[in-house]
Amino acid sequence: MSTPTRARAAVILAAGQGTRMKSSLPKVLHRVGGRAMLDHAIDAAEALGCERVVVVVGDHSPEVRAHVVKRLGEAAVAVQDPPLGTGHAVLAAREALADFDGDVVVTYGDVPLLKASDIAPAFGADGVTVIGFEARDAGAYGRLIVTDAGLEAIVEAKEASADQLSITACNSGVLAAPAEVLFDLLDRVGNANAKGEYYLTDVVALAREAGHPTRAVFAPEDAVMGVNAQGELAQAEALFQKVQRETAMEGGVTMAAPDTVHFSWDTRIGGGAVIEPYVVFGPGAVIEGGARIRSFSHIEGARVAAGAEVGPYARLRPGAHLAEGVKVGNFVEVKNVTMAKGAKANHLAYLGDGAVGAGANIGAGTIFCNYDGFFKHRTEVGEGAFVGSNSALVAPVRIGEGAMVGSGSVVTRDVAAGDLALGRAEQTVKPGWARRFMDTMRAKKAAR
Ligand code: UD1
Ligand code: CA
């Protein structure tokens, strides 16, 4: 996006109670694509180049305040208490923007799919610009009253005449204006209406009266959708996933059953990667082109290089870094471990906190015992080492380059390069014992 000519700020409304979610988690902290809806709204504001972002929160949700403070700092919080309407909510941000000179856009913490590119056209005009949409079912949305003279007013459904209710051009709620104009107009908004609230939408008619230009620009209905209840959250998620899948396929990712692949907001997959059915990407997954992720794998905070193969049924957790040609097979969990080129853990293993050298082989049933109940420790397996099946590597411990660990070993001390470690009870053999035992038992059973 080109650099804006006028400074930009965003006021994000998030003071609603969100009671229809019926959840103890505040509405705007519910996630879409693994990211809080409020963060999607902040992302859009930042992508628009807003130098100031103010989030209007209610007094009832300290979690929302804490979330905003953590991401943007104290100065980004404005409290609206009690909530007396959308116009009143925007006024709560006045003080935080007292020294701001430029355009202000009002957006919403519960509208997660609206992208910067949808909002950008609202900036740059002299008066008030509203983002509208064509509604499939206009229902309770505010109606845009557009005449030859342009956008004249927004009429809330509760206030609308039968004629006005038949209008399908609706108000998304997003609106922009120069800061001074916006706050001047808001001062004049009253609450003599059906809901007894201070309506942000009234600034349109007031702008006309004051001789400011007003206009509507349109965005797709799907992009402006707001989330009020769990069903809508699921709908927003579905729309989000659809976009992610399409973007991935446009980028050259092969998916035989894209509808079964679940993405996070930041999933990155290179062209030429193959994602088999039923794969879930949590946040922070980076898959290079040419990698193959097999069915039923769960991947988050992990990197998978070209030519690596993961799954089926593998779990990669944060800090799993798989280099070229690595193989992580079924029922293997990898956390905070770097696996160098061509290393393999093909079946049933837990690799936590450490490093596996190039070409090393980790046998089935191997466990990196990384936790002593208090601290985490590292396990290092050298290049070309061979760890036999069902071994417990008790960290901190190092297995040297080209060393071997005998199957079933519990390894508590370092193993030098080229050595063999055996950490298991020595085998004894009793010749003929089994045959004699079985013969005796069979005879007993037959005599019953
Ligand atoms: C609003 C618009 C309507 C538009 C619709 C789009 C007004 C008067 N009407 O109606 O034209 O079609 O959105 O969804 O603006 N909020 C606060 N503080 C308040 C009141 C609301 O922060 O005091 C926040 C809510 O958290 C919510 C948003 O503003 O996210 C919208 O408020 P809501 O009361 O749901 O407005 P609508 O009646 O849906
Ligand atoms: Ca609403």
- Known catalytic membership, residue 347: yes
What's the pLDDT tens digit per position in 59-68?
988 999 999 9
The span from the CA of 278 to the CA of 298, in Å, is: 9
Look-up of token digits 């293997």: 332
Give me the pLDDT at residue 341, please.
98
Q: What is the position in ligand 1's atom list of the atom closest to the CA of 87? A: 15
DSSP, collapsed to helix, strand or coil, labels residue 423 as coil
Query: Which residues, given as ranges, of the chain have pLDDT below 50?
Result: none
Are 52 and 97 in contact by the 8 Å Cβ rule? The answer is yes
Return the pLDDT at 255.
98
Residue 138 has what pLDDT? 96
Give the residues surrounding ligand 1 with Cβ less than 6 Å away: 13-16, 56, 80, 83-86, 88-89, 108, 110, 141-142, 154, 156, 170-173, 199-201, 226
Ligand 1 centroid to 355 CA: how many Å? 52
Pocket probe for ligand 1: among 20, 29, 60, 86, the residue whose CB has the most ligand atoms within 8 Å is 86
Cα 86 to ligand 2 centre (Å):
10
Which residue spans within 44-86 are E strands per DSSP?
A: 52-58, 77-80
- Type of residue found at 317: R
Query: Over the stretch 242-266, which tens digit does the pLDDT of each residue have?
Result: 999 999 999 999 999 999 999 999 9
Q: What is the tens place of the pLDDT at every residue in 287-299?
A: 999 999 999 999 9
* pTM to 2 decimal places: 0.93
146 three-class SS: strand
Q: Can you tell me the distance from the alpha carbon of 424 to that of 405, in angstroms, rounded to the nearest whole number?
A: 10
> DSSP string spanning 12-36?
EEE-S--GGG-SSS-GGGSEETTEE
- For residue 110, the tally of other CB atoms under 10 A from its CB is 25
Q: Say which residues have a Cβ less than 8 Å from residue 40's Cβ, sequence separation at least 6.
A: 32, 33, 112, 113, 265
Residue 149's pLDDT is 85
Distance CA 351, CA 381 (A): 11
